[in-house]
Amino acid sequence: MNFQLTQEQEMLVEAVRSFVTRELLPHEEEVDRADAVSPELAAQIRGKAIAAGFYAFNMPEEVGGGGLDYLSQALVERELSRVSWALHVFVARPSKILMACKDRQIDDYLIPCVQGEKTDCFALTEPGAGSDANAIKTRAVREGDDFVINGSKHFISHAGHADFAIVFAVTDTYEHNGRKRNAVTAFLVDRGTPGMTVRRGPKCVSNRGYHTYELFFDDCRVPASKVLGEVDKGWEVANAWLTAGRVMVAANCVGQAQRAMDLALQWAADRKQFGQAIGSYQGVSFKLADMATQIRAAELLTLHTAWKMDQGSMSDGEAGMAKLFASEVLGKVADEAVQIFGGMGLMDEGPVERIWRNARIERIWEGTSEIQRHIISRELLRPLLR
Ligand SMILES: Cc1cc2nc3c(=O)[nH]c(=O)nc-3n(C[C@H](O)[C@H](O)[C@H](O)COP(=O)(O)OP(=O)(O)OC[C@H]3O[C@@H](n4cnc5c(N)ncnc54)[C@H](O)[C@@H]3O)c2cc1C
């Protein structure tokens, strides 16, 4: 096995790292305190990301994207996540599900998203359907050339400033192994479409400045030309990208954990108690050893999984392992970093309490740790159970 990054990958990592240091990190504290990113700052980051060639790095070259393979994408995600999601989200990665666009959708949605002229949001979760996405109740009923959508969504990231939402709604039901299942369709619903209301959701402790929204659909009429992919085939469109997304979340966790580690290491060398650097006590230095070891394992697992995705040989369970392990390592490392900082670790004058707060969401979104364990164990047991 070759664990050496290519020269291009090394240069990419260096370029993204200096972009984060120069353009994003200086704003992190102010954005966290204000719990908001001004439209001017958002536009500035977007413009600089486009100029630097980082915008839409996840999208294929043939539609104008960066065309990075999954391993390189994971490296970029690792670097970007040294700063809060509230900021690096503006180095946009349009939902790759948009590759299912066809006909006019390509010029109306896909290309503008890749070029930074439009932004999307992904609207699946509902108050009654989180981990159990199949339980969504939002319905779309065909009426002539239109679909009429009724229902609601919550926890939808960026819906307040997105130009359109990719909305998942039930369009049919069928029996599978004696259980009723929903056939689901994905729709492209423009902001301002009559019948769709967007409302800011509750405040979140992680990534202040990164907001979620509630969407309400009340006889919201969209033409059939706004169906993304095929009618009743919404899961087919969504699942492939959701699985890939988990590996990218794992890469985000590795970057955040490494940042916490770097801060804790420096503090352990600088902070003196009982006349010595606290890092000279094994109670602290062994924590650092464990943190570094866990981060290395999470990083290798994540990059190996991304590499497998590039080879076309990654399974859902393997993506789940990377997401599960890296997000749990981040949780432990962030907590130990606070411990090494002592009281200062909980004060909002430094980034450690921010990293600790931000880390918490990673075990919940894109499939909770319990759901990842479910996916992994189901894959292990499936060949043995009848
Ligand atoms: C900040 C934020 C941003 C988000 N952005 C988006 C977005 O842009 N678009 C979108 O569609 N969604 C988004 N989500 C939703 C996110 O994906 C869900 O929060 C997540 O899937 C978990 O669903 P839930 O919160 O309803 O928890 P629940 O599903 O209610 O789970 C609660 C607890 O029960 C456990 N649990 C549930 N089922 C099982 C089981 N079978 N076995 C064992 N344990 C189980 C869970 O692991 C968890 O610990 C976002 C959420 C947050 C908080």
Nearest protein CA to atom 30 of ligand 1, as residue:
130
The finding on whether 157 has its CB within 6 A of some atom of ligand 1 is yes
* pLDDT tens digit sequence for 89-118: 999 999 999 999 999 999 999 999 999 999
The pLDDT, as a whole number, for residue 309 is 97
Please give the CATH number for the structural domain made up of 7-102.
1.10.540.10
Q: Which CATH class is domain 120-228?
A: mainly beta
What are 120's strand-pairing partners? 164
Please report how the helices 316-341 and 234-270 are oriented relative to each other, as an axis angle in degrees rounded to 10.
Answer: 30
Three-class SS state of 51: helix
- Helical pair 70-80 and 282-311, crossing angle rounded to 10 deg: 150
Domain with CATH 1.10.540.10 in the chain: 7-102
CA of 327 to the centre of ligand 1 (A): 15
From the CB of 368, is ligand 1 less than 6 Å away? yes
Strands 164-176 and 227-228: unpaired
**Backbone Cα Rg of the chain:** 22
What pLDDT, on a 0 to 100 scale, did the predictor assign at position 191?
Answer: 97
What tens digit of pLDDT does each residue of 54-87 get?
999 999 999 999 999 999 999 999 999 999 999 9
Task: Read off the pLDDT of each residue in 335-348 and give the average, rounded to a whole number.
Answer: 97
Ligand 1 mutation target, pool 364, 369, 375, most atoms within 8 A of CB? 364
Query: Is 318 exposed, middle or buried, given 0-12, 13-18 or 19+ CB atoms closer than 10 A?
Result: buried
Q: Whose CA is nearest to atom 14 of ligand 1?
A: 155
- In sequence order, the 6+-apart residues with CB closer than 8 A to the CB of 147 are 140, 141, 169, 171, 185, 187, 221, 222, 223, 224, 226, 227
Compute the distance from residue 368 Cα to the ligand 1 centre, in Å. 6
Measured distance CA(326)–CA(71) in Å, rounded = 16
Q: What is the pLDDT of residue 137?
A: 97
168 C-beta closer than 6 A to ligand 1: no
Q: Give catalytic residues, as residue numbers.
A: 366
User: Mind listing the pLDDT tens digit for each residue in 255-314?
Assistant: 999 999 999 999 999 999 999 999 999 999 999 999 999 999 999 999 999 999 999 999
Q: Which residues contact 142 (CB under 8 A, 6 or more apart)?
A: 171, 224
Q: What is the pLDDT of residue 239?
A: 87
Q: What distance in angstroms lies between residue 361's CA and the mean position of ligand 1's atoms?
A: 10
Residue 33 has pLDDT above 90, yes or no: yes
Residues of the chain with CATH 2.40.110.10: 120-228
Whether the per-residue pLDDT at 240 is higher than 90: the answer is no
The answer on pLDDT for 386 being more than 80 is no
Domain 237-382 -> CATH class:
mainly alpha
Q: Is the CB of 73 under 6 A from ligand 1?
A: no
Quickly state the pLDDT bin for 178 (edges 50, 70, 90): confident
Read off the pLDDT of residues 196-215 as tens digits, 9 standing for 90 and up: 999 999 999 999 999 999 99
Could you tell me the pLDDT band of residue 183, with boundaries at 50, 70 and 90? very high
Provide the residue type at 311 as one letter.
Answer: Q
What is the pLDDT at residue 24? 98
Atom 12 (ligand 1): residue with closest C-alpha?
125
Tell me the CA–centroid distance for residue 121 and ligand 1, in Å.
17
Q: Please tell me the distance from the alpha carbon of residue 321 to that of residue 250, in angstroms, as a whole number.
A: 9
Closest ligand 1 atom, residue 132 Cα? 29
Q: Which residues touch 337 (CB under 8 Å, ≥6 apart)?
A: 260, 261, 263, 264, 291, 345, 352, 355, 356
Q: 244: Cβ below 6 Å to ligand 1?
A: no
pLDDT for residue 312: 96
pLDDT at 13: 98
pLDDT band at 242 (very low <50, low <70, confident <90, very high): confident
Q: 359: closest CA among 255, 231, 223?
A: 255
**Beta strands 164-176 and 120-123: pairing type?**
parallel
Domain with CATH 1.20.140.10 in the chain: 237-382
Mean pLDDT of the chain: 97
Q: Is there an atom of ligand 1 within 6 Å of 125 CB?
A: yes
DSSP 134: G
Whole-angstrom distance, CA of residue 79 vs CA of residue 68: 15
Better-predicted residue by pLDDT, 241 or 291? 291
pLDDT above 80 (res 315): yes
Ligand 1 centroid to residue 130 C-alpha, Å: 4
**Distance (Å, rounded) from C-alpha 370 to C-alpha 289?**
27
